[in-house]
Each structure stands twice: as structure tokens, then as C-alpha cells.
Amino acid sequence: MTPAHLSAGAQTPSAPAADASAADAGAKSSPKSLYGGAQNRRITIRDLAAAKGRGEKWPMLTAYDAMTASVFDESGIPVLLVGDSMGNCHLGYETTVPVTMDEMAILSAAVVRGTKRSLIVADLPFGAYQEGPSQALRNATRLVKESGVGAIKLEGGQRSLAQTELLVSAGIPVMSHLGLTPQSVNAMGYRVQGRGEQDAHEVLRDAKAAQEAGAFAVVLEMVPAGLAAEVTRALEVPTIGIGAGPDCDAQVLVWTDMAGLTPGRLPRFVKQYAALRETLGGAAKAFAEDVTGGGFPQAEHSFT
């Protein structure tokens, strides 16, 4: 098998075009805005830092397969997260806890292959970094080398600082994830975090510590909007909110939630922009009725 980082889709800079025409030169330079995909290269963590300087907000979505990722890439979504939410959204587990490194590596490589411009960030799954910095570096290195991702995300502030520092010193960009950290569901449940002075102070302290350790961005999940605003003002690196109010630098949602594919009750922070479950179910039923009723296939679908 060709390692993903050697294939066309990998997150290594492609060789510059021999003929740098005026149009090309413009397209290769820094994007005027992060959203839109006008640039002819991968988004980098430097682009994200520049967007914070301009006060520009940006979107992030999860992705777990090449085809869906290509839709988001072509739609100009600057950052895609191969989230361990693949556990419940793609692999049929109850939570993110059972997700393995093998599963992360395979689906991350698929997302990288399906995209050209988005920065691809992969979660380190539960159990892949809690042993310590050397375990974290070994597993993060695998996702960078084998899957071709451009950055790694891990949960926890203070408790993951040594891991963050080692990855950053090794040249692997790290996104930190604070507030509700779903890999700790068995300890904390799915509840708003950072309520009350003590807990709010802990979130702010963790965010500053993550930035100090070299994190290029911080996800804030299910924290009060006022606290997220305070953290966003306090940090030089961008904050990415999910259930963290309107004042974060960026917003992330799980793609199956935002597109209306996830069944059942959704978290309060989700907004649905499509009804894919209905659309796809309708297509399946129409196909089934066509087959059982003899309407498909017709001559135009057949060979003589």
C-alpha cells in the first residue's frame, strides 16, 4: 500500500507549478478569508492565527470518510476534524471511548485522500495518550506519517500538558480540547462544564496552560458563553466553540448532527441545516418501490 503521505492527497506541500502565472501566484498566497477555499493549497495553522488577527470567524466540521470530506473541502470549510465522534456517528459504538488507533488511522487517511485545501485535524482516541508523552508522540506520529493529517487534537488542559509540549516540540501541531471532554464520560457525564467560579477559573487556567504549552487552538465544549468569551479574549490562539456561545473565534459541529443524519435527540447546541435522514430514507424507499414494482431497471439502464 502506498503510504498516504506519498499520495496526491497527503498534507505535504505539493511542488510549485513550473509556470507561476498571475492567477496562480494569487491563488498560492495567503487567503483573504479562511472560509471559501480560494487558496490553491492546504490551510495551515499560520492561516488560522492570521484570521484571529483579522477578527474573522470560521467554521469547522467533522468528517469520517473521503466522499463526505470532499464535499466539505469543495464547500470551502477550512478545517475538518476526524473526530473520535466517529465512534457513535460512524462505527456504531455508544460513545467515543471504544475508538481505536487503527480506526482513527484508517478513517483519517480516507479524509486526507478526499481533500485538497482543508487542514485535517485528527483526535487521539481514548487510551492513546493518557499513559504519557512518549505514548502520545508514538500515536500522533502514526496519524501524521501514515494517515497524512496536519494536526492532532487531544482532550484535557493541565492533565495533558506534557503530551502537548512533546508533540509541539516534535513539530506536530496540537489542538487542545477543554470543558466537556467526552472521553471522560464515565467520570463526568455529558454536562455543562465551567459553571461556578472555581470551575470557570480551572477552564481559563487550562486554556492559558495549553497555549503556553504550544497548542495552536483550543476547543471549548459546553461551557457558559460568558466564560468562552473571556477565554477567547485572554488567548492569542483561536478558540473553537461547540455549545460555547457566539464569541468564540470559530465554531465546530459534528457533521451528521448539522446535516440531520444523526437519529434521536440532539444536544441543545446543535443547529440542523439539512434533513439528510429524511432525504436518504426517501431515496432508499423510492428505489425499493421501483424494484418491487418493476419500474427499475429500464432499457436505458440495461445492455444489449
Q: Which residues are catalytic?
A: 221
Smallest gap from residue 138 Cβ to ligand KIV (A): 21
88 makes contact, choosing from Mg ion, ligand KIV, ligand MHF, none, with CB < 5 to 8 Å by partner type, with ligand MHF
Q: How many CB atoms lie within 10 A of CB 144?
A: 22
Among 84, 230, 249, 257, binds ligand KIV (CB under 6 A): 84
Is the peptide bond between 297 and the residue preceding it cis, with omega within 30 degrees of 0? Answer: yes
| 123 marked as binding residue | yes
Among 88, 118, 160, 164, binds ligand MHF (CB under 6 A): 88
Show the site string, 121-160: x = touches Mg ion by CB under 5 A, - = not: --x-------------------------------------
- Measure the CA–CA gap between 16 and 4, rounded to whole angstroms: 20
- Measure the CA–CA gap between 257 and 274, rounded to whole angstroms: 9
| 247 marked as binding residue | no
| 81 is an interface residue for ligand KIV by CB under 6 A | yes
| Residue for grid cell 451528521 | 256
Residues present in the chain in total? 304
**Coil vs helix vs strand at 176:** strand
C-alpha cell, 176: 487542545
Amino acid at 129: Y
| 62 is an interface residue for ligand KIV by CB under 6 A | yes
**Coil vs helix vs strand at 240:** strand
| 254 is an interface residue for ligand MHF by CB under 6 A | yes
Which DSSP string do the residues of 179-215 spell out, in sequence order? ES-GGGHHHH-S---S-SHHHHHHHHHHHHHHHHTT-
Judged by CB, which is closer to ligand MHF: 90, or 113? 90
| 210 is an interface residue for ligand KIV by CB under 6 A | no
Binding interface with Mg ion (CB under 5 A): 83-84, 123
Annotated binding site for 3-methyl-2-oxobutanoate: 84-85, 123, 153
